[in-house]
Structures are given as structure tokens and as C-alpha cells.
Amino acid sequence: MRKKGKLSNKSADIQNKAVIHEQTKTTNSRKSFKLGYDFHTQMELKLMLLPSVILILVFSFIPLFGLIIAFKQYDPITGISGIFTSSWNNFRNFKIIFHSFDFVPMLINTLGINLLNNLVGVPVTLLFALLLNEVLNSRFKSFIQTVTYMPHFLSWVIYGGLFITLLSTDGGVVNTILMNLHLISKPIQFLIDPKYFWGIAVVTSLLKDLGWGAILYLSSMAGIDMELYEAATIDGAGRFKKMLYITIPGIKPTLMILIIFAVSGMLNNNFTQIYIFQNSLNLPASQVIDTYVYQIGLQQLQFGVATAVGLTKSVFGVLLLVGANYLSRKLTDSGLF
Amino acid sequence: MLKLKKIKMGELEMKCKSIIIFVVIATMLTTSGCGNSKKSQGTSSNASKSPVSTTWFSDVPFWNPPTTWSTDPSTVQGAITQKTGLKFTMNIPAQDADAKLSLLMVSGVLPDVITISDPVAIQKLEKSKKVWKLDDLLKKYDPKSHILTDFPADIKTALVNRDGAWYAWPSHIISKDSAKEYPVSDPYYSNVNNLGNNYGIMFNSKIMSQAGITLNDLKTEDGVLAAFKKVNSMNLKVNGTSVIPMLLDGLTYQNSSFLTLENFFGAMPVDASGNYRDLFMDPITKHSLSFLNTCINNNYVDPNQLTMDNDAVKSVIASGRVFSFIGNTADTFFDANIGHQDGWVSPGPVLSNKGTKPVLSVAQQAGTGWMQTFVSTSAKNPEKIAKWISYMSSVEGLKLTWYGFKGKDYTIDSKGLLIQTTAGLQNTKDYSKTGTGAYWPFANISFTDHVIPAPTKENAPGLLESTTVITALGLSKDTVVYDSSLLTLPNNYIDSNSDIGLIQTEIKNYKLAQIAKVVMAKNDSSFNSLYNDMIKKLKDLGQDKVDSKINDQVQKNYKTYNSTLKAVNP
Amino acid sequence: MNESKSLGDKVFNITNVLIMLILMFLTLYPFWFSIVNSLNDGTDLIRGYCFFWPRQFTLASWRTVLADPSIMNAAWITASRTLIVTVVSIFNTAMFSYAFSRPYLKHKKFYSVLGFVSMYFSGGLIPVFMLFKWLGLYDNYLVYIIPSLFAGFFNVIIFNANFKAIPDSLFESAKTDGANEFTIFFRIVLPLSKPVLAALSVFVAVGIWNDYGTTLFFTQSNFLDTLQYFTLKLVLSSQAADHLKNVALQTSPELASLLSKSAGSGPVTSRTIELASMVLASLPMIIIYPFAQKFFVKGVMIGSIKG
């Protein structure tokens, strides 16, 4: 950092030299400009940061004192002071989650469904965005975007309920078509056989949020310099080459960010979706942590346990985030920031 | 280039500025509007003429009385206001109401009147000591109240046993003592109240006649199985789709269809010596499971039924292709306009081919109702509220709130019974707008059974049909009725957070998946081994600990009520 | 060579269009299904869903939803809240992100920690509730606005990635021209970030539009109900009959007759109300989306590097 040197008040020469030095520095610098470390700029930046910092401190940090509840035997009757005066309960709130004899299968389902969702969802959404980008007619493109984004607004009760009707063995459309095409002789028990559950969860999730998930990719693609495409055309590159060498690298920052966050969210399932498709027969494949917590009657009255579950997930989320970010930097030189 | 950009920026800046201005104005308008309406909601407590605003909270999200309170005296609400000087602001959260109540507790500000149904919330509210004991409230502020003399003593005892003192006004009052005060207008009601049970089996008489099956054929297990076989072999169709021999209650089959079978085959939650042990541990359970298993393996029940939600069940019933349904018959809505034309009948119990007697559990001691209404100690108008409670539970108040206005909504016939007019019936149907029949917390079943005549084939054919079905099990001479009140546990007897509570949760989850496996077993040997494994695992999980804890309370109940339960089929 | 390119191109284009058409069918159909069934007679619907066209067309359910007098107020609350929060929070968060993205910002680690902790850790319902009470936000319109004015650190990360992609030369020349940070932000960064601003605005707007948790826990007056909360209540009360039968006193003829009265007898049932309100509540967001899409247009950066 170049300090504003103490100028000897002797000769204008030296002053001139300083000015020239500064000018040359400006024209010469390429990577980062040293301007900005000065007080004024820092104050301006701080001003820009200020409103959000206040909001975060007030609305996200102050409430953190409530995390203590996870470690205590807290009863809402005791009011706010009760948070501090209730007794410590020896991690009992945490043990409840791990207590189930079924904990390992639950964990496997939770992670498995999420992993599958990401492994399938991210590339497919990306592919969809890429193909959409290639649509020539802009009106049609806009129409496709709107239509594919519509299912996002349907509730899982309705959306899932529709699929359950379609997949039924008793006259459901899917089975009827497959049988008429002679691909199967007996209806497939989609909703009964545990082995189909993960697939159903992933496919329905994908279809519902395809258009929604593509939004960020599309907006990133819009920011890629057209000249790169023009140059590539001149070099004789076809569409696939352009996609591979310009578009994908161009949205790499956004892509990696989304992947990192997907990894860090591995313990969180879409509760409503799983709950809708879950029944006593597919339970070995459909019981996840979120539905288990719901079923053991942990409505919010059990604040201690609910907070404990939330805290555990947060900690794991952060660890996964850090890990994923590290890997991303190592492998693709791009990370969260 | 930068200049060009600067011109475009000018436009953008203008847009930004105009948006910001709009935003600021909008915020000002809305917050000022908010401020205004808040002021207008203020209460004026000096003028006794203007009604006092009282908050009424409930945790029953689907309770839907009219949201805005009308003070027009020609409406039910207005009439209430006229008599009591109170008007109510309803606060019924759409979801997680008990969490909301907890939050209000934490903040120290409770609503004036609180109507809740969740047992844990009830317990917390009572422990908080922030609600009035109703005796104290009435003695202090309405010492002449009819309640102090005519409130059913047995219900009061039950409430005090449950809560330690009389804190809550129970909804849907019905008991021996209340029936003494308001005797039923017709034996129809006492049958339904004392012997009615929604869990049962019903058969479609149209398909029965098509297949040449009579009700007599369906009284035994073997008879029923033979009927299913016959229906299947005849390949009957309704509207082109094949007939379903037996329909289970969809996703809830383990709670309703299965429990119905347990009743038919005589399983009980006590053993031969009267000690409590979980119903599932009764050896007869194996027979109930085996019946289901047989039905699935013989194609009488399609396994897909186990995944159906209630809408799907209703729709299948409505299609007319169901030969029999077993489970919670109310789940099928068969008494509504759709479906009852099929002529549903019930043989009552289906007698086990092992000769065990069917049972039916009926709560013979006074119950504590469904919704519990409390008055907060911080309510500002305890006197008015006390008088309001007295009014809502009085004959005059009950008539108004359940039937409306004499002449307009109902007339009195020669026997002194209340007959609703067409307008009155419509008002009751639209209760969430008119308020007639909307105030469930004060429902008094004995009262309404007393003032209204029994339904007839002309005015309520569906209801009569459903009543015949739901009383079939209780009225059958083979059925042994036992008192389920002897098995009631105090509120939150086992805290779900306690060790025993955790075991219970484990067991519940284990059963959910395992019962499914057992009923889907492909042959006898795998059925047997799965069943045996299940029993063993339940013991390993700690079923015995849970049973013994509950048994402690059951033995106490025996002493309290001076009565014992013993297994009917040891 | 040109011919084979255009043949390959043609095949690609046609295949692409076909794929898009299939996808559109798969995604449009469930919405169409919901509309069709919401326009069907409720009692008839008990027999089973309609798959392509209503069997018994009726506008009764839509009318029931729209005729409720509280819906206008709920719509106004939701619309105003969505607009204000989207505009202000996106602007505020973009500004924060801009500062955060400057490599010469001191103490960046502090802001990162602040951001990540706020993203992942929450004290839960009770402390937030108490905080709102202390601040006077409980049961106040402002509870919909003030806490949401920072759009979340996830958006900061996205903005950050976009701002970092803007070439340094632009900043340099601006600084040389004597611009301060605010000027750079307004005149250079924002205009060049239209796509990401539009995308994140959509996310924020939809999130706020669909939110009902704030209403549920942090308000109690009816006039503060949002559209989603209002429709939730509407659906729940129409499902009253469905729930009543699960209540312990099932045998009571009271409840039985209440059931048959409020249950599916007539053109409007709980299922059609659920469908109608879901469709109606989502329409505004669907209609607005094409306007945001205009910003996903390629070529924002044209010529910005030249000169």
C-alpha cells in the first residue's frame, strides 16, 4: 500500500514527480488498483454496508440467545427469564433425534434422497437452461420460461396428490399406458414398493421446480459477453462447442455457488413433499429426519427439541459448506467468494 | 461511450427516484392506515351501553365461526351482545396455534377467552395459574348463575380428576347426569350416544342383491370371506369398472380398519386378570392381522388401498363399486348425498371363526368433552365474561346459539319439540356466516338431544342409514360392551419427552412399517415368522415398561370407579 | 461445409423445440389440472378428478373465494408488502454486496462471518417473537417490512459473483474520472447487473408473496392477513367437516349432522376451494414473471469493454 508520502515542502520538483508517479501508476496498473484503501472510499463503503449490518445484528444476531433453549428443559410458562433460569438437561434434547432404532436408515434416506436430487437435478436444470438459451424465437422462449415455472406455485398437496392418482395401480394413467404398450403385464406398484420412492421424489421435485431452478442460470447466461460467441463462430465452433467452452465456463461462478449450497443443505428435505408420498408400505425408503421429527409429535411446543434439531442441522450445514467450498476452490478455482 | 451511458443512467436514476418516492408514500399510507384502524379498535369501558371487546383465542384451526362480530340484534351474535354486553374478536391461527399460544404465554399477555383442545397445551395453561377456576369466577361475579346448581356433577368430577380443579368449560356436554337434566326426546339418541361407534363394517345392498348374498350370510368371518370369493368369481362390474370386494380405510387402515377387526374378534387391552397391556399384545391380534393378510393374498383387497388418502376413499365409495368397507365409516361420508343411494347395511360384528366374542368399548363414565374453554385471569371484564358463560350455557342461550330465533328459524310443535324452518336449516348450514350453530365450545349434546325430535326417513334418510350402521355393533346381542373410561389416563400422563414417552414413539413408528410387512406376507410361514419377530421386537423396545406404567393408572381407575375390566376372550 | 452445419443446426433446433414442448406439457399440465378441477362441481369431484376438462363446469368455487370481503384487504397487504420489500431489499442488498465485493474493503472477514452466521443459525421462534414485541413490531404492518429489508446472505453471494465479473477497467476509468463509490454503484454496476437484479427480485418477490409464517406467528389482527394466510384459513375452514370426524366425539349425531351439512353437498367443497384459492393466489406472480424475463436478455455487456 502506497502511503501518501510526506512531501518535503522544499521543491515543487518532488511534488511534480509525485503527481507524475501517480499518473503513471494509473495507466500502468492492470490487476488491481490501489485506489480505494483511502479513508473516504472506506467510509463510503461502510455507509453502503451499514443498513444491512444493522438489520443483521438486530434480527439475526440478537435472537441467537435463544439457542440456549436447545440445552435446557424450557417451559414457555416461565416466560423469557425462564430461558436463562431453566435447568440444563444434559443434551437430552439432542439424544432424542438419535434415539430412534431406525436412525441410520433415516439418515441414509435423508442423505440419499438429497444426493440423488442434486446429482440429477443440477445437471438436468443446467441442461434445460442451456437448451432454452438456444431457442431462437424470443417470444417462444419467454413463453417456455413462464410455463415451466408455473408448477412451482402449486402446493405439494395438490401436485403430489395428482401424481399419486396418476401412479395408482387401480386405473392410474401411467400403468394403463405401460400395460397397453405391453411393456408390463401387471401394474407397477409405484407407491407401495420402497424401491420406487426415491425415484418418485426426485422426478416430481425436478418437474415442479425445473423452470424455477433455471432462473439463476438464465440470468447468468445473459451476462456473458456476446463477442465471445461471435469470435467463436468465426473460429468455426458449433453450438455444442460454444455451450461447452463459453456458456458453461461463463456461468461457472453461479454454478459452483449453487452446487456448494446444495451440498450444504444435505440434511434438509422438502418435508411436505416427502410427507405426501409417504405411507406405511414405503416407509423403509421414505422415512427421513424431518418427517420423523414431525411424527414424534414435535410440534413447536417442544421448543427445546425443535431448537436442538435446528442447531444440529445448522452446524452440519456450515461444516458441509466449508468442505464443499474448499473442494470447489481446489477443483474449479471458483468458490463462494 | 461513458457519455452515452450517462444519458441512460439519467433515465435509470429517474426511474429509481420515482420508485423510491412511491415506496415511501406507500409505506406512509399503509402505516398511517394501520395506526388509524388500531385506534378505532379501542374499547370504551366507561359507557356500559357500548359493547366491550373481548379476545377469544382457539387452537382448533378449522373452527370457523363468523370472523367479524355483528352487533345487529337480529343476528345471533348481535343478540348475544345485547344480552351480555360483550363482543368478540376471534383469534384462530390457521396452523400451529399451540405454538402461538406458547409465544403469548412467554410474552405474558394471554387472550381473554381461550378455547383449546390439545392436551399438552391444556396442561400448560392450567399449570401457569393464569386462568380462573370457574367456581371462583362464578361465585365472585355471578353468584346467581344456574351453572352453580345445574352443572352435571359427574362431568365436574371428571374435570377435577383430570385437571386438579375446575378450570375449563367442556364442549359437547353429555353424561349420565346431563341426560338426567335434559332427557332425550327419543331412544334414537340414547342408542347413538351410548352404543354408536363409527368403527364398523358396512355392505352395499345393491351389490349384495346382484350377487345373491343376504345380510345373514355376512355375520360370520367364514361367511364374509365366502361372500368376497363369490363377488370376485362373478366378475361383477359397476359402470364398467370391477367391483371391489373390500375397501379398507386408506392410509389410516392401521388405526381404523385394523382396530375394527380387533373389536370384532374380541381383542381387549386388558388380560384375564384385569391388568392393562397394549391391545396389540393380545393374542387375538394375530387373528386380525391374518384376516387382513388372507384378504390381500386372495385379491379381496388391493394393496394399493393402503396408500390411498381420504379423498380417494371417498371417491371410490361414491363410484358405487365397493361391496364392503371396513374402518371409520364417517371417513366415507356415505351419509352425504353421494353414495347413500347404495343402501349401506351392517351385520354388526363379524363373528370370528375361532368363536371369540366381539367387544365394543364405550365411555360409560362422564367424559370431559372436546374443546376446553378457559378465562384468563388478566381479562379485563371478568364480571361480563362470567355472566356470558352463564348465558351461553342457559336454555335460552343454547336455543339462540344453536337454532336462532323463534318463529323465524324454528317453531315448537305439539310435543314441545323444536322444529327448524327452512330458513333456520339454511342458517345452520351457513353457520360460518350466520353464527347459528357456530359456537362449538358451548355445545351441549344432552340439551340438543332433548329439544329436537329424532330424524326421520323423510327429512334425513342418509343420517338414519348411517345411524343404523354405526349402532349395529353395539346393538348386537353377541357384542360385549365394556367401559373404556376405566382405561383413561390423565392429560399428558406420559410426557413425550420422558424415557417412557420415547419408547412409545419408537414403538409407534416401528409398528407403522412392520404391520404393513406382516399383512403383506406372501404365505403362512413368512406371516408367522414376521408376526413372531414383531412381538419379540416390541418387547425388546420396551413395550412391557410402557404397559406397566399405564397399568398403574388403570388399577387406580378401578378403585376410583369401583369396577374392573377383565378380558372377555382370555 | 455450410450445408452440413445448417442441417445439423436444423436437426438440433427441431429436437430442441420438441424437447421444450414435451417439458412444457409436463409442467403446464398439473397447473391446468388444478384450474380444471377448481372449475368443476365439488360434489361431482368426489367421484374422482377430471383430467382434461371439467365434467360439471361451475364458477361457484372461484366466486366463493373472490367474494369474501377480506380478500381485497389481504391482496392489498400482500401486494404492497411484496412491492416495498422487493424494491428496497434488493437495492439494499445489492449495495451491501457491491461494497462487499470490493477487494479493497477492509475487515471483509467480519462481514463474511456476520453473513454466514445469519444464514445458518437461528435462535428459533421464541427469541424472534420477543424481539418483535420489544420493537413494537408485533401485530403491526411494519413487521412485514423492516425485518425483511436485508434479503439474505445467499443473495449477497450471488451478487458478489456478478459484480466481480465486471471488468476492472470500468472501475478504473470511473475512479480516474473522479467518481466515488456511490456513483460507481449507481451508474456502472447497477445498469450492468440487470439480469441478476431481475432474477433475485423474482426470488425475493415470490418468497414474500408466498410467506404466511409472519402472519401466523407475529400478527393477530385480521386486517393484517396476507393473501396466502387468508387462503390457508379459507381452505382450513372448508375442511372443517373433514376434521370433525376425527374428533373424539364422532358418535355424536350433532357432529354427524354438522358433517353432512358442511361436507360436499353442493358445487363448492373443501377440495374445490383449495384448488381455486391456490390457482388464484399464484396468478399474480405468474403474470408478472414475463416482465422480469425481459432482463434475461443477452447482450447486456455489449461494448462495455471497448473504448
User: What residue spans define the domains of chain C?
Assistant: 1-59, 69-238+269-293
Q: Quick check: B544 and B481 in contact, CB under 8 A?
A: no
pLDDT of residue B18: 52
Question: Is A173 in contact with C51 (Cβ distance < 8 A)?
Answer: yes
Name the pairing type of β-strands B322-328 and B199-204: antiparallel
Q: Indicate which of A89, A92, A106, A301 best probes the interface with B, i.e. most B CBs within 10 Å of its own CB.
A: A301
Contacts of A295 in chain B (CB under 8 A): 505, 508-509
Q: Indicate which of A52, A147, A314 best probes the interface with C, i.e. most C CBs within 10 Å of its own CB.
A: A52
pLDDT of residue B243: 93
> What is the span of the domain harbouring residue A131?
91-332
Task: State which amino acid sits at residue B246.
Answer: M
For A279, the closest of B118, B120, B251 (CB atoms) is: B251
Q: Could you tell me if A60 lies within 8 Å of chain C, comparing CB atoms?
A: yes
Nearest CA to A150 out of A202, A204, A207, A199 is that of: A207
Is the model's pLDDT at C97 over the cut of 90? Answer: yes
Task: State which amino acid sits at residue A235.
Answer: D
How large is the average pLDDT for residues B374-403?
94
Give the whole-angstrom CA distance, residue A108 versus residue A114: 10
All three cell numbers of B458: 323423510
Q: Could you tell me if A77 lies within 8 Å of chain C, comparing CB atoms?
A: no
Q: Quick check: A320 and A266 in contact, CB under 8 A?
A: yes
Distance in Å, alpha carbon of B104 to nearest chain A alpha carbon: 9
More confident residue, B19 or A109: A109
The alpha helices in A57-102, defined as continuous H runs, are 81-85, 92-99
pLDDT bucket at C136, cuts 50 / 70 / 90: very high
Q: Please report, rounded to a whole number, the percentage of residues in chain C having pLDDT higher than 90.
A: 51
pLDDT of residue C251: 44
DSSP 8-class letter at A59: I
Neighbours of B165 (CB within 10 A): 12
Give the whole-angstrom CA distance, residue B162 versus residue B125: 13
Nearest CA to A280 out of A260, A295, A269 is that of: A295
DSSP 8-class letter at A7: P
For A41, the closest of C123, C181, C295 (CB atoms) is: C181
All three cell numbers of C96: 451491501
Give the whole-angstrom CA distance, residue C81 versus residue B335: 45
The neighbours of chain B, by the rule of 3 or more Cβ pairs under 8 Å, are A, C
All three cell numbers of C85: 420489500
DSSP 8-class letter at B286: H
pLDDT of residue B39: 39
**Distance from CA of residue A225 to its chain's centroid?**
26
CATH for the stretch C69-238+269-293? 1.10.3720.10
Give the whole-angstrom CA distance, residue B72 versus residue A37: 71
Q: Around C5, how many Cα atoms within 13 Å sit in the side-chain half-sphere?
A: 9
pLDDT bucket at A1, cuts 50 / 70 / 90: very low
Q: Quick check: C36 and C254 in contact, CB under 8 A?
A: no
Q: Quick check: B131 and B374 in contact, CB under 8 A?
A: yes
Is the model's pLDDT at B167 over the cut of 50? Answer: yes
Give tens-digit pLDDT for C17-67.
Answer: 999 999 999 999 999 999 999 999 887 887 788 888 999 899 988 998 888
Contacts of C103 in chain A (CB under 8 A): 32, 36
pLDDT of residue B45: 41
Contacts of B120 in chain A (CB under 8 A): 301
Instruction: Give phi and psi for B220, each to the nearest 5.
Output: -120, 165
Q: Please report, rounded to a whole number, the percentage of residues in chain A having pLDDT higher than 90.
A: 32
Q: Quick check: B495 and B501 in contact, CB under 8 A?
A: yes
pLDDT of residue B23: 54
How many domains are contained in chain A?
Answer: 1
- DSSP sequence for A98-141: HH-TTHHHHHHHHHHHHHHHHHHHHHHHHHHHHHHHT-S-HHHH
Give the whole-angstrom CA distance, residue A193 versus residue A21: 76
- Helices (H) then strands (E): counts for chain C: 16, 0
Domains and CATH numbers, chain B: 52-173+368-402 (3.40.190.10), 196-364+462-484 (3.40.190.10)
Instruction: Give phi and psi for A154, each to the nearest 5.
Output: -80, 145
Give the whole-angstrom CA distance, residue A50 versus residue A55: 9
Question: Is C129 in contact with B103 (Cβ distance < 8 A)?
Answer: yes
Contacts of B540 in chain A (CB under 8 A): none
Is the model's pLDDT at C241 over the cut of 70? Answer: no
Range scoring the smallest mean pLDDT among A150-164, B38-52, B133-147, B536-550: B38-52
Q: Please report, rounded to a whole number, the percentage of residues in chain C having pLDDT higher than 70.
A: 86
Q: Could you tell me if A279 lies within 8 Å of chain B, comparing CB atoms?
A: yes
Task: State which amino acid sits at residue A215.
Answer: I
Residue A76 falls inside a structural domain: no
Q: Indicate which of B19, B23, B398 best probes the interface with C, i.e. most C CBs within 10 Å of its own CB.
A: B23
Contacts of A191 in chain B (CB under 8 A): 304, 307
Is the model's pLDDT at A2 over the cut of 50? Answer: no
pLDDT bucket at B212, cuts 50 / 70 / 90: very high
pLDDT bucket at B334, cuts 50 / 70 / 90: low
Closest chain A residue to C122, measured at CA: A64
Contacts of A74 in chain B (CB under 8 A): none
pLDDT of residue C24: 92
Classify each residue of C244-265 as buried b or exposed e, where b means 16 or more C-beta atoms within 10 Å of its C-beta.
bbebebbbbbbbbbbbbbbbbb
pLDDT of residue C249: 47
pLDDT bucket at B430, cuts 50 / 70 / 90: confident
On the 0-12 / 13-18 / 19+ scale of CB atoms within 10 A, B340 is: buried
Is the model's pLDDT at B516 over the cut of 70? Answer: yes
Question: Is B103 in contact with C217 (Cβ distance < 8 A)?
Answer: yes
The mean pLDDT value of chain A amounts to 83
pLDDT of residue A242: 85
All three cell numbers of A187: 401394474
Q: Could you tell me if A37 lies within 8 Å of chain C, comparing CB atoms?
A: yes
Give the whole-angstrom CA distance, residue B442 versus residue B388: 11
Distance in Å, alpha carbon of C253 to nearest chain A alpha carbon: 30
Which residues, 6+ apart, have CB-to-CB distance to B151 below 8 Å? none
- If phi > 0 it is left, if psi is from -120 to 50 it is alpha, else beta; for residue B544 that is alpha
Closest chain C residue to B443, measured at CA: C254
Q: Could you tell me if A79 lies within 8 Å of chain C, comparing CB atoms?
A: no
Q: Could you tell me if A287 lies within 8 Å of chain B, comparing CB atoms?
A: yes
Closest chain A residue to B316, measured at CA: A170
All three cell numbers of A321: 459448506
Question: Is C236 in contact with B67 (Cβ distance < 8 A)?
Answer: no
Task: State which amino acid sits at residue A98.
Answer: F
Q: What global pTM score does this model have?
A: 0.84
Question: Is B309 in contact with A296 (Cβ distance < 8 A)?
Answer: no
B58 strand-pairing partners: B115
Which of A235-239, C83-87, C161-165 shows the highest mean pLDDT? C83-87
Residues in chain A: 337
pLDDT of residue A17: 54
Question: Is A302 in contact with B497 (Cβ distance < 8 A)?
Answer: yes
Q: With a threshold of 0.85, tell me whether the complex ipTM lies above it.
A: yes
DSSP 8-class letter at B220: B
Contacts of C24 in chain A (CB under 8 A): 144, 147-148
Give tens-digit pLDDT for A144-183.
Answer: 999 999 999 888 988 998 898 889 887 788 898 898 888 8
pLDDT of residue B239: 82
Name the pairing type of β-strands B237-238 and B241-242: antiparallel
Which residues, 6+ apart, have CB-to-CB distance to C269 below 8 Å? C42, C43, C45, C46, C238, C263
Q: Is B387 helix (H, G, I), strand (E, B) or coil?
A: helix
Is the model's pLDDT at A314 over the cut of 60? Answer: yes
Give tens-digit pLDDT for B230-239.
Answer: 999 999 988 8
On the 0-12 / 13-18 / 19+ scale of CB atoms within 10 A, C104 is: middle
Contacts of A96 in chain B (CB under 8 A): 497, 502
Residue A37 falls inside a structural domain: no
Question: Is B107 in contact with C88 (Cβ distance < 8 A)?
Answer: no
Question: Is C104 in contact with A41 (Cβ distance < 8 A)?
Answer: yes
Q: Cell numbers 369398472 label which residue?
A: B241
Question: Is C141 in contact with B31 (Cβ distance < 8 A)?
Answer: yes
For A303, the closest of C126, C160, C302 (CB atoms) is: C126
Is the model's pLDDT at A319 over the cut of 70? Answer: yes
Q: Could you tell me if B306 lies within 8 Å of chain A, comparing CB atoms?
A: yes
Which residues, 6+ apart, have CB-to-CB distance to B387 below 8 Å? B84, B141, B142, B145
Closest chain B residue to C128, measured at CA: B103
Question: Is C46 in contact with B318 (Cβ distance < 8 A)?
Answer: yes
Is the model's pLDDT at B219 over the cut of 70? Answer: yes
Q: Please report, rounded to a whole number, the percentage of residues in chain A having pLDDT higher than 70.
A: 88
Contacts of B335 in chain C (CB under 8 A): 256, 259-260
Is the model's pLDDT at C116 over the cut of 70? Answer: yes
pLDDT of residue B385: 96
Whichever domain contains A228, its CATH number is 1.10.3720.10
pLDDT bucket at A331, cuts 50 / 70 / 90: confident
